[in-house]
């Protein structure tokens, strides 16, 4: 798989793939322990190519072909990766499409660069999941282990191996929570969530929608959808949301 890299000042590299196309461009932000080669990322690559949209997909720190250990990553670092891609790889307005954990990073990115973001699509977005879901779900023994050893392993429903959850991930998450107050995002937002999602409750999208200060925020619930949202119909709904936001952005530019 051919990809390019950009480097942070500390030498860490971010792997990305870019497709040329018209503005606004689309940037995909993957989920926890996923990468730019996942089903949704590849589906959007094909869709954007067919529509003529510019498109970038990248691997966050500790994922895919980017440098670093997963255990050393966190929402703060992953937001730095997204901002580096936005600032150094793309030009003009962009639509951010964030899946699960990538939805949290998308919110942080949109807050940091409001003048660059023309729209946001959240796919089963998981803002604040380390604090509101993961930490409360740990047993007292697991909490003690993560504080003393710095990492614990928990089973994954989406990967062959377990998640290695670090103390750094939990503590870093606490520094980047977004649901505790208003979220100053005013561009159009589309949130898509399955009501059979056993990883991130669909109510999280409703909470996120309520906190976003912009008025053009829609939540689309898929009754039989799980966390993956990777059926043909679900993938089509994601592409439709992107098309809608591209159309809105272009109409504002005219």
* Residues noted as catalytic: 100, 197, 227
3-state secondary structure the chain: CCCEEEECCCCCEEEEEEECCEEEEEEEECCCCCCCCCHHHHHHHHHHHHHCEEEEEECCCCCCCCCCCHHHCCHHHHHHHHHHHHHHCCCCCEEEEEECHHHHHHHHHHHHCCCCEEEEEEECCCCCHHHHHHHHHCCHHHHHHHHHHCEEEECCCCCCCCEEEEHHHHHHHHCCCCCCCCECCCCCEEEEEECCCCCCCCHHHHHHHHHECCCCEEEEEECCCCCCCCCHHHHHHHHHHHHHHHHHHHHHHC
């Amino acid at each position: 798989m051919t990809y390019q890299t950009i480097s942070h000042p500390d030498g860490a590299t971010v792997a990305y793939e870019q497709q040329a196309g018209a503005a606004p461009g689309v940037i995909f932000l993957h989920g926890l322990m996923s990468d730019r080669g996942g089903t949704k990322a590849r589906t959007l690559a094909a869709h954007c190519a067919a529509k003529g949209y510019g498109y970038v997909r990248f691997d966050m720190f500790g994922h895919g072909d980017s440098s670093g250990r997963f255990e050393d990553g966190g929402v703060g670092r992953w937001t730095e990766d997204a901002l580096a891609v936005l600032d150094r790889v793309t030009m003009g307005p962009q639509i951010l499409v964030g899946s699960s954990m990538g939805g949290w990073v998308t919110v942080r990115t949109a807050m940091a660069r409001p003048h660059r973001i023309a729209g946001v699509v959240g796919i089963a977005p998981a803002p604040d999941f380390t604090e509101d879901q993961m930490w409360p779900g740990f047993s007292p023994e697991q909490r003690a282990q993560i504080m003393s050893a710095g990492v614990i392993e928990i089973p994954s429903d989406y990967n062959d191996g377990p998640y290695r959850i670090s103390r750094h991930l939990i503590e870093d998450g606490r520094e980047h929570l977004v649901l505790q107050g208003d979220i100053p995002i005013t561009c159009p937002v589309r949130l898509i969530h399955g009501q059979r999602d056993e990883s991130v409750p669909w109510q999280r999208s409703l909470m996120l929608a309520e906190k976003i200060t912009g008025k053009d925020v829609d939540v689309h619930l898929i009754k039989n959808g799980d966390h993956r949202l990777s059926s043909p119909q679900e993938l089509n709904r994601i592409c439709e949301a992107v098309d809608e936001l591209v159309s809105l952005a272009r109409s504002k530019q005219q």
